[in-house]
Structure 1
Amino acid sequence: MNTQLSLACLLVAIIVHITYIYLRRRNSFLRKLQGPESTSLWLGEITGNEGDIRYQHEVGDRELEWMRKYGSAWRRSGPLGVDHLSLADPKALQYVLHTCGYHFPKGRETTQAIKMTIGQGIIWAHGTAHQRQRKVMSPAFSAPQVKTFLPLFLNAALKLTQKWKEEVISLDPTGQPVINVITWLSRTTLDVIGEAGFDFHFGSLDNESTPLGKQYENLFIDSSLYPSQFDLVFRALWRYIPEPLLHYVRYLPFREYRRLRSFLNYSLWFSRDLVRESIEKTDGKDIISILLRANTSENPINSMTDDEVVGQIANLLLAGHDTTANTLSWFLWEIAKHPECQRRIREEIAAFRARKGEEHLSVSDLDDMKYTEAVLKESMRLNPIVWILRREAGRDEVIPLAFPVTTKSGDKVSSVPIKQGTPIDIHIDAYNRLPEIWGPDADEWNPDRFLDADKKDTDKKPFPVAAGGLRSCIGWRFA
């Protein structure tokens, strides 16, 4: 009987919600924008176009199609019929991420998903909490501090190449084996994050098995790749669940929730142990030791809580090592397809070495290697590691557009008024292929575009390089 009553209440809540959404949509400017029809496979608009994005074969299959058809701003339907504003326009992105960044917070679904995965660190925080955490963490990621890690990075790279020579190439009878670089690079960056971040030795390159390493195995494949349509709808309801109750969704008995819960519980336990060890050191050079010293020197009102400090370690581990490993993997994949780029990179490195008379390069040398930097940027442009950012309007807004779009009625508009609570999808992959920014060859590989740009075009940057502003990645120099 209680189950039947609960289902009846849930059904009534959904009907009330859909009625509210319908009435709200009738007067929404978003309804005037062009966009794809809902192609949900389950009850029409229950999941909207969310499945088009979540279940596409390749990232960008749908977004690039929509961008080319509708322009740099379009409307799409989300779960439960909620309209989303999709953006790939540079002026709109500047406004949402930079100019009024704190007026566009991450939505309830996004923040809860982050909290369930990596705790209450800087990626989860917003507004004054984000400002406070970033202020405390900044000394650990300053340019002088990051430069001190260069010998560690070089040693890790040398160790990796030596491992390839000894354990892969020498054991292959042809001398030309196929190397699974993503696995090796992930192990390398985990070792680097461990030593530079926490003065901890993971030993991944030495094939040492650790409990934390096992927690990383297939984490996102098990927890977030191709979610069920039921989960898409359920998460869309999170915005209506009070925050204290929302905390308990992590205990749901489904595979993805169990997987995230296991990872978070272990990483928080691991992080607390690292913090205790770091507190005992007074002269540690690793990131967490510097962060802890900065935190104790702050006014107690402005300092981070113990949970927030612990959260930073989980943030660094998850956001810092696989993102870099994947970026480098795409970089190597691209230059493997373009041997002329390999040749020019090698020539640039050789020229710097000959000029210095030594093999190792300094930070300033790396900064001056313009062609290598251009190739890396072009690789990130075509293969962004984070392909979509999700925000929500914290108040009624009018978002400006650099490139006017055509409405359903044929009018040209250069701004989009939206209501408070409107979900916003920032399509990084679409922005990085926008012809108005990158030219008619936006879909083609051309690193020289970053060398040949006119002075007026020097601000053209691919994501994630362009993702600066209030919530820019604090570890970008480190990466």
Structure 2
Amino acid sequence: MKDHHFDIELFAVPARQALQHIYQRSGYNYPKSIESDVITRIFLGDSILNAHTDHSHARHRKAMSPAFSASQLRSFLPQFRNGAAKLCRMWKEQILDEKPEGEVIPVNKWLARLALDVIGETAFHFDFGALDNSKNEVSEAYDSLFADSQLHPRLWMVFFRASWRWLPRTLLNFVGYIPTREFKRFRKSKKAIDKVSTILVDAAIEEAKAVEVEKGKKDVMSVLVRANMSENPSFQLSKNEMISQMATLTIAGHDTTANVLTWLLWELAKHPKYQNHLREEVKQKREEIAERDGEGVDFEMEDLESMPFLQALLKEVLRFHPIVYHLSRSAAKDDIIPLSEPIVTATGEIIEEIPIAKGQGFLISVCAYNRIKSIWGEDANEFNPQRFIDGEVENTIKLGVYGNLVFDTNVVITVAAGMRGCIGWRFSLIEMQAVLVALVQNFEFSLPPTETEILRMPVSLMAPLVKNRMKEGVLMPLTVRALST
């Protein structure tokens, strides 16, 4: 196969159909790369993220889908609101009551603890106690997990990982036991969450044996227990798979959500006009609710979804700060990737389709795609939520689940689409809306008084670190001032 070199802007429009082919039409023909699979298996175990075959992945997804229906997830809104209200109280009572001028707070740490408590309560009926106890074992295990394990990898490890595609899977199963900094950190994290998960799973299975599991209950724990006890092989999950699902949902359900909110608060701190616009929109919506339903009635999903600037902010932060900054795939078989338009290479060759050989790897840059000017406009390198309100974003080929299914606008390739699309994207989106509304109503966010340079670091997730303070791990210090409400 010839080695072609493409200009990213010239390749933008044709690439959209190519990406649609990889992630939607032929999703199971493009599984995750070996390296990605091995790493996630080390700290997550046998979860849906590590289902190798089409059948295995379909079995996991079919078993778990009832817990992630739109109606089920919308029913969690009261818990999201309660968690956000608790965080607001704690900031005011513990930090800001005696400091009317505001205080610098590591907002990412608090948001991660809030999100961990929320996923525990809504999915597993378990109180992690992370907000009440910053020394919580699970919270500590996850704190800066990826920064500790993935930042500045040693050269030999880079070459070692590159060799995994040629090693047998039986041998790769033991990679996680190599006593390196990275793998020690992964094992520590897995041990902490597996300890809690095993206790919860054992108790749930024993209770289910004594009392028939209510078939109408669709929370994650009830769904996992029914899948474990099912006699239908297409639904059945083993105990180890249940434990791994809990680990996967715990880290995916709290770390990514907290990171998105962290970046959004940073952007609001840098752009007071956007912050004030959102606060005014929230105020107006609350007045509408009070007039419609009476004082003291809180937001429902319809209210949150009817706030255009709130929705635009969430889309723009996912575009501008994609938490998953690249997606790795490999071809399971020979294939032909179509292009919606012919492209001309640097050598003048016209390309109308791309032949792919079995085993060929792909590393698709979400960051690069989300900054292409021909798709997002000349200001693609600027944070501008207004692009989603003015309708400037060109909308032809659809790729991502968030942009297509929820708001029917353009694609933000942040949540992978297709058969292997993120099963919990709605959960995260609803939680972010509830938390953001509560925070901007109660607090004003601004940059710290002393110059603090925030670095966007690719550590499995795109996370914020402070220049010259990188040993402190993932960190976003912002000045927070309580508002009178």
Q: Which runs of 5+ in 1 are unaligned?
A: 1-27, 36-65, 74-87
- Tell whether the 8 Å contact from 1:103 to 1:395 is kept in structure 2 after alignment: yes
Distance in 2 (alpha carbons) for counterparts of 1:360 and 1:259: 41
Q: Which secondary structure does the structure 2 equivalent of 1:386 belong to?
A: coil
Residue 8 of structure 2 corresponds to residue 67 of structure 1: yes
Distance in 1 (alpha carbons) for counterparts of 2:288 and 2:409: 30
Residue in 1 aligned with 2:198?
272
Are residues 311 and 372 of structure 1, via their aligned partners in 2, closer, same or farther at CA, if it must alter by over 3 Å? same
Residue in 2 aligned with 1:443?
381
Distance in 2 (alpha carbons) for counterparts of 1:146 and 1:352: 22
Distance in 2 (alpha carbons) for counterparts of 1:261 and 1:204: 20
Distance in 2 (alpha carbons) for counterparts of 1:460 and 1:205: 36
Residue in 1 aligned with 2:410?
460
Residue in 1 aligned with 2:93?
166
Are residues 285 and 136 of structure 1, via their aligned partners in 2, closer, same or farther at CA, if it must alter by over 3 Å? closer
Please tell me the root mean square deviation across aligned C-alpha atoms, in Å. 2.2
Q: Which moves more between the two structures, 302-311 or 315-324? A: 302-311
Residue in 2 aligned with 1:41?
none
Alignment of structure 1 residues 113-152 onto 2, 5 Å: 113-126=39-52, 127-152=54-79
Distance in 2 (alpha carbons) for counterparts of 1:389 and 1:236: 16
Residue in 2 aligned with 1:250?
176
- Tell whether the 8 Å contact from 2:72 to 2:219 is kept in structure 1 after alignment: no
AA aligned opposite 2:195: W
How high is the sequence identity, in percent, across the aligned residues?
A: 42
Residue in 2 aligned with 1:156?
83
Q: Which secondary structure does the structure 1 equivalent of 2:103 belong to?
A: coil
Residue in 2 aligned with 1:338?
271
Distance in 1 (alpha carbons) for counterparts of 2:69 and 2:229: 18
Are residues 348 and 299 of structure 1, via their aligned partners in 2, closer, same or farther at CA, if it must alter by over 3 Å? same
Alignment of structure 1 residues 5-84 onto 2, 5 Å: 28-29=1-2, 31=3, 33-34=4-5, 67=8, 71-72=11-12
AA aligned opposite 2:349: D
Distance in 2 (alpha carbons) for counterparts of 1:327 and 1:401: 32
Distance in 1 (alpha carbons) for counterparts of 2:279 and 2:137: 39
Distance in 2 (alpha carbons) for counterparts of 1:164 and 1:265: 31
1:393 is displaced (CA, Å) by 0.9
- Tell whether the 8 Å contact from 1:374 to 1:451 is kept in structure 2 after alignment: yes
Bigger relative contact order, structure 1 or 2 (CA pairs below 8 A, ≥6 apart): 2
AA aligned opposite 2:5: Q
Distance in 2 (alpha carbons) for counterparts of 1:455 and 1:334: 20
- Tell whether the 8 Å contact from 1:437 to 1:460 is kept in structure 2 after alignment: no
Distance in 2 (alpha carbons) for counterparts of 1:385 and 1:91: 23
Residue in 1 aligned with 2:34?
108
Residue in 2 aligned with 1:390?
328
Residue in 2 aligned with 1:377?
315
How many residue pairs match? The answer is 403
Distance in 2 (alpha carbons) for counterparts of 1:196 and 1:335: 28
Q: Which moves more between the two structures, 359-368 or 258-267? A: 258-267
Structure with greater Cα Rg: 1
1:91 is displaced (CA, Å) by 1.5
Residues 170-224 of structure 1 deviation map (CA, whole Å, 9 limit, x = unaligned): 243x522122210110110011011112111111111253322222233212211
1:239 is displaced (CA, Å) by 1.4
Distance in 2 (alpha carbons) for counterparts of 1:185 and 1:301: 37
Residue in 2 aligned with 1:60?
none
Are residues 219 and 147 of structure 1, via their aligned partners in 2, closer, same or farther at CA, if it must alter by over 3 Å? same
1:298 is displaced (CA, Å) by 5.8
Distance in 2 (alpha carbons) for counterparts of 1:146 and 1:430: 31
Residue in 1 aligned with 2:244?
311
- Tell whether the 8 Å contact from 1:89 to 1:431 is kept in structure 2 after alignment: no
1:94 is displaced (CA, Å) by 0.8
1:285 is displaced (CA, Å) by 6.5
Residue in 1 aligned with 2:281?
348
Residue in 1 aligned with 2:114?
188
AA aligned opposite 1:463: I
Distance in 2 (alpha carbons) for counterparts of 1:391 and 1:468: 13
1:269 is displaced (CA, Å) by 3.0
Residue in 1 aligned with 2:475?
none
- Tell whether the 8 Å contact from 1:189 to 1:322 is kept in structure 2 after alignment: yes
Q: Which secondary structure does the structure 2 equivalent of 1:204 belong to?
A: coil
Q: Which secondary structure does the structure 2 equivalent of 1:429 belong to?
A: helix
1:231 is displaced (CA, Å) by 0.6
AA aligned opposite 2:391: A
Runs of 4+ with >6 A deviation: none
1:474 is displaced (CA, Å) by 0.6
Distance in 1 (alpha carbons) for counterparts of 2:422 and 2:167: 29
Which of 293, 306, 327 is residue 226 of structure 2 equivalent to?
293
Residue 19 of structure 2 corresponds to residue 93 of structure 1: yes
- Tell whether the 8 Å contact from 1:90 to 1:431 is kept in structure 2 after alignment: no
Distance in 2 (alpha carbons) for counterparts of 1:421 and 1:439: 35
